[in-house]
Amino acid sequence: MSASANSFRLDGKTAVVTGGGSGIGRAIALKFAANGASLHILDVNLQDAQSVADEIHKSGGQASAIACDVSNQAQTVEVFQNLFAGARVDILVNNAGISQIGNVESTSESDFDRILRVNVKGYYNCIHACVGHLKANGGGVILNMASVAGSAGLHDRFGYSTSKGAVIAMTYSVACDYVGHNVRCNCISPARVHTPFVDGYLHKNYPGREKEMFEKLSQTQPIGRMGQPDEIASLALFLCSDAAAFITGVDYPIDGGFLNLHG
């Protein structure tokens, strides 16, 4: 097939985006909808999810908002079963996640349990609930949001780095087990991305020094700035489109040169 401007479109596809109510998840949902997909936006905050669904509706797209705590397997399975009863799902984007600051000494057991419960078990719960449906329908795409923290050493990110390293390994495992069922599984590893989470983090931890610390964090990337959610969404769109049909079992850094250009 010759290349065309429509190569990355998702017409006729239905996608589930977890944590789709804000930040990168919101950008992915909007990007997918703008390229023809129908969306189910899952978020622990239903109001945020509904706000994104309303944006999509105003642009002429199709979207539903669903409250879901992905760390709760029973609730997650119920949500997916309800979705499957109405129609098929073609794409799962595992994006819901939390962050945590601290090294191994300062990370409490409760903090460690919480970040694994959301960032690792949450992804497992969604894949566990969805992959049989994808397999039965002849295939589909799973995209996991990881992080450069999963493959590089970052100061005071012990729990977060551990969780994202697990996501990368999970991606490889699922890709291997389901490649024969036409289910592709990849992950994206962003460096710092400018989201409302970052602004909230700076306001909470560096009151009065937000601008200074924002610049410092921006310079962590050799390219000299943070990524934008829409840039992450563009890579997600490609990996979930048929244009990426030959790609599975890959961790894609999108990091402004962070992993390879230091020094």
Q: Is 102 strand, coil or helix?
A: strand
What value, to the nearest 5°, has the Cα angle with vertex 62 and ends 60 and 66? 135
- Torsions phi, psi of 183, nearest 5? -105, 115
Percent of the chain as helix, strand, coil, to the nearest 5: 50, 15, 35
Distance CA 243, CA 9 (A): 9
Q: Is 160 a catalytic residue?
A: yes
- Torsions phi, psi of 198, nearest 5? -65, -45
Which one from 123, 160, 206, 252 is the annotated catalytic residue? Answer: 160
Instruction: Output the six-digit token pair for 183.
Output: 């289910």
| DSSP secondary structure letters along 166-206 | HHHHHHHHHHHHHGGGTEEEEEEEE--B--HHHHHHHHHHS
Q: Which of the residues are catalytic?
A: 160
